[in-house]
Amino acid sequence: MTARVRYAPSPTGIPHVGNIRTALFDWLFARHSGGSFIVRVEDTDQARFDPNALEAIYASLRWLGLDWDEGPEVGGDYGPYVQSERLEHYAKFAKQLIDQDDAYECFCSTERLAELRAEQQKQKQPPRYDRHCRELPDDERAARGAAGDKPVVRFKTPDEGTISFDDAVRGHVEFETATIDDFVALKSDGFPTAHLAHVVDDHLMEISHVLRGEEWVSSTPRQILLYEALGWTPPTFVHMSVILGPDRAKLSKRHGAVSVLDYRDQGYLPEAMFNFLGLIGWSLDDHTVLMSREQFIEHFSLERMGKNPAVFDLERLTWMNGAYLRELPEERLTALFTERLERDLPADAERPIDRDVVRRLVPLVRERVKKLDELAEMTAGFFSDELPYGPDELLGKKFRDDRAGATAALTAAHGSVEALAGWDHAAIEVAMRALADDLDVKAGALFMLLRVAMTGRAVSPPLFESMELLGRERCILRLANARDTIK
RNA sequence: GGCGCAUUCGUCUAGUGGCCCAGGACACCGCCCUCUCAAGGCGGAGAUCGCGGGUUCGAAUCCCGCAUGCGCUACCA
């Protein structure tokens, strides 16, 4: 079976991770079946349209490598793929519904509708349209139209019967049509509602599977009504659960970063985000956690989709990102790091960033970094000679009450570094350990003093590798500076 | 108010009648390794499977009720 699957974003805001996760599953299902992944822009809400949203949507998909076979920018045989360019289709089928007496024009004002709703709420009645215009005489309808009133088109929902469908993850779902009111299919501005637009486009574009968020479950019977009235066969529906914030409320801006682009900017890798999102609401087995995109494509299946809402666990994502960072080829890491440092390092760092230094830095920091935005802070000492420490940081606990000892140690280290025959980390380590012996100081204490002197921080990449990379001249300079700060 | 969906360690999840007094991963704790921090190795703690009834020799798994959460109930999607 080759599926035709669509991702139908609505450009009303920056898409958050939950939304992009449905795109990921759409894509995975399409790729697994060898079918097509289609992007269709649902810009039918003119009031909420946000031009920036579209770019963010495309950027999010591209960043994760979710390429589409049909849609905006790539075209396809079923276009256009932007709903605002397909208005004539919706108008045509809306008219057909009216002609076959499955729909009618309604002239009720939004004010009347609002009052009606308020009244029903007060009476503890389910809010629903009272069908005021359903039996409007033809001449009155014509008169309203002639007077310039713009009607909406409402569907004539049957009073009796049940609508059911078999959801690929939820199973059999059933609704009484009596609980569904005469919903709007075409708005007065000529744009369709999502119900009509979904049905018309999914049919015309020959979509085989509709994978979407579970907030659509309740709308599905309305859409099935439309399919039946139009004489079409509905696709297979697959409703996937939503993603929640840590407080179990639906994920929103309140929870911090919610767009995948935010995570990209913080230094998460697309492959980590892909893996992480792919394992929310889907699993391979009882133990696999790290999976490549090829494995996802090979094994993805609707049967293994879960149905419960899931909390977005940032710590898990961060761990996973670290795992990917550790596995990345050195070349790619070097490129990634260089780009990042170019951007994040303070102005006093030497520019352009020395790619060769970065290359040698990679093995020292790759397993210490979980997100790329930690990199600049961690490696600043290799690109700038202004180290952020004072006497207190330099002396630390061990030399707090022994300035003379610290000064002696730094002086001795200075001499030892100058006298060293070679310059590699193994030789440096041998020399420094010997020095600790001579000074009758614990190696750990000496090393911490040197660490701060060399890198400016109590937490750093391995000391001797760092010194090797810094070079003898700079090390000598830094030892002298350290001595000066505690003079 | 009505309708619908969901409910396994703090979190993501495995589990489709006996292999489960429930497995993996993140986070947490301890030990080992170690020049700091990580990474890695080993181990630990953590779930009366939302609650209550059934069915069955046997239930996390099947049935019924309840509770809770979420969604829809818009000329939003």
CATH code assigned at A323 = 1.10.1160.10
According to the model, what pLDDT value does residue A484 have?
92
Handedness of CA A420, A424, A430, A433 (dihedral sign): positive
Contacts of A264 (CB under 8 A, 6+ apart): A63, A270, A273
**A355 shares a domain with A310:** no
Find the CATH number of the domain harbouring A351: 1.10.8
Q: Does pLDDT of A253 surpass 80?
A: no
Q: How confident is the model at residue A251 (pLDDT cuts 50, 70, 90)?
A: confident
Q: How confident is the model at residue A413 (pLDDT cuts 50, 70, 90)?
A: very high
CA at A323, C1' at B6: how many angstroms apart?
A: 32
User: What DSSP string runs through A325-371?
Assistant: HHHS-HHHHHHHHHHHHHHHS-TTS-SS--HHHHHHHHHHHTTT-SS
**A335 shares a domain with A323:** no
**A221 shares a domain with A365:** no
Q: Which of A337, A359, A382 delimits the end of a domain?
A: A382
Interatomic CA distance for residues A290 and A271, integer angstroms: 10
Average pLDDT over residues A270-275: 97
Q: Does pLDDT of A254 surpass 80?
A: no
According to the model, what pLDDT value does residue A314 have?
94
**A291 shares a domain with A312:** yes
- Report how many domains make up chain A: 4
Nucleotide nearest to A304 (CA to C1'): B14
**A272 shares a domain with A174:** no
Note the strand B nucleotides within 7 A of protein beta carbons.
1-8, 10-16, 23-27, 35-40, 69-77
Residue nearest B76 (alpha carbon to C1'): A45
Interatomic CA distance for residues A364 and A376, integer angstroms: 14
Average pLDDT over residues A205-222: 95
Please count the other Cβ atoms lying within 10 Å of the Cβ belonging to residue A386.
Answer: 10
CA at A287, C1' at B39: how many angstroms apart?
A: 21
Q: Is there a domain that residue A79 lies in?
A: no
According to the model, what pLDDT value does residue A83 have?
97
CA at A309, C1' at B59: how many angstroms apart?
A: 25
According to the model, what pLDDT value does residue A416 have?
95
According to the model, what pLDDT value does residue A252 have?
77
Q: Is there a domain that residue A57 lies in?
A: no
Supply the range of the domain harboring residue A449: 387-487
According to the model, what pLDDT value does residue A348 have?
87
Tell me the per-residue pLDDT of A310-361, one tens digit each, with 9 for 90 and over.
Answer: 999 999 999 999 999 999 999 999 999 999 999 999 988 888 999 999 999 9
Interatomic CA distance for residues A39 and A4, integer angstroms: 11
Nucleotide nearest to A154 (CA to C1'): B75
**How far out from the chain centre does Cα A402 lie?**
52
Interatomic CA distance for residues A11 and A26, integer angstroms: 18
Q: Which of A189, A208, A240 delimits the end of a domain?
A: A240
Helix (H) or strand (E) holding A172: strand A171-176
Contact (CB, 8 A) for A242 and A39: no
**A317 shares a domain with A333:** no
In whole numbers, what is the pLDDT of chain A averaged over residues?
A: 93
According to the model, what pLDDT value does residue A357 have?
95
Contact (CB, 8 A) for A155 and A103: yes
Token pair listed for A47: 């009031």
Give percent of chain A with pLDDT exceeding 90. Answer: 82
**A208 shares a domain with A97:** yes
According to the model, what pLDDT value does residue A267 have?
94
Residue nearest B25 (alpha carbon to C1'): A289
Enter the ipTM: 0.95
According to the model, what pLDDT value does residue A461 have?
96
**A337 shares a domain with A319:** no
**A270 shares a domain with A141:** no
Q: Is there a domain that residue A40 lies in?
A: no
**A323 shares a domain with A181:** no
According to the model, what pLDDT value does residue A137 have?
87
Q: Is there a domain that residue A484 lies in?
A: yes
Contact (CB, 8 A) for A44 and A192: yes
Find the CATH number of the domain harbouring A138: 3.40.50.620
Interatomic CA distance for residues A390 and A410, integer angstroms: 15
Q: Does pLDDT of A422 surpass 80?
A: yes
Q: Which of A207, A240, A273 delimits the end of a domain?
A: A240
**A487 shares a domain with A373:** no
Q: Is there a domain that residue A146 lies in?
A: yes
Average pLDDT over residues A35-49: 95
Tell me the per-residue pLDDT of A65-86, one tens digit each, with 9 for 90 and over.
Answer: 999 999 999 999 998 999 999 9
Q: Is A95 a catalytic residue?
A: no
Q: Is there a domain that residue A17 lies in?
A: no
According to the model, what pLDDT value does residue A406 have?
93
* Helix, strand, coil percent content, chain A, rounded in steps of 5: 50, 10, 35
Helix (H) or strand (E) holding A60: helix A51-63
CA at A480, C1' at B49: how many angstroms apart?
A: 65
Tell me the per-residue pLDDT of A131-174, one tens digit each, with 9 for 90 and over.
Answer: 888 888 888 888 888 888 899 999 999 988 999 999 999 999 99
**A360 shares a domain with A229:** no
Interatomic CA distance for residues A320 and A290, integer angstroms: 8
According to the model, what pLDDT value does residue A409 have?
95
Nucleotide nearest to A48 (CA to C1'): B76
CA at A239, C1' at B56: how many angstroms apart?
A: 34
| Active-site residue, selected from the candidate residues A92, A95, A150, A253 | A253
Average pLDDT over residues A188-213: 96
Interatomic CA distance for residues A270 and A417, integer angstroms: 43
Q: Is there a domain that residue A134 lies in?
A: yes
Residue closest to A242 by CA, chosen among A305, A300, A302, A308 = A308
Nucleotide nearest to A170 (CA to C1'): B5
Q: Is there a domain that residue A166 lies in?
A: yes
Residue closest to A461 by CA, chosen among A353, A344, A349, A337 = A337
Q: Does pLDDT of A40 surpass 80?
A: yes
Q: Does pLDDT of A210 surpass 90?
A: yes
User: What DSSP string runs through A276-304?
Assistant: HHHTSSB-SSSS-----HHHHHHH--GGG
CA at A308, C1' at B48: how many angstroms apart?
A: 22
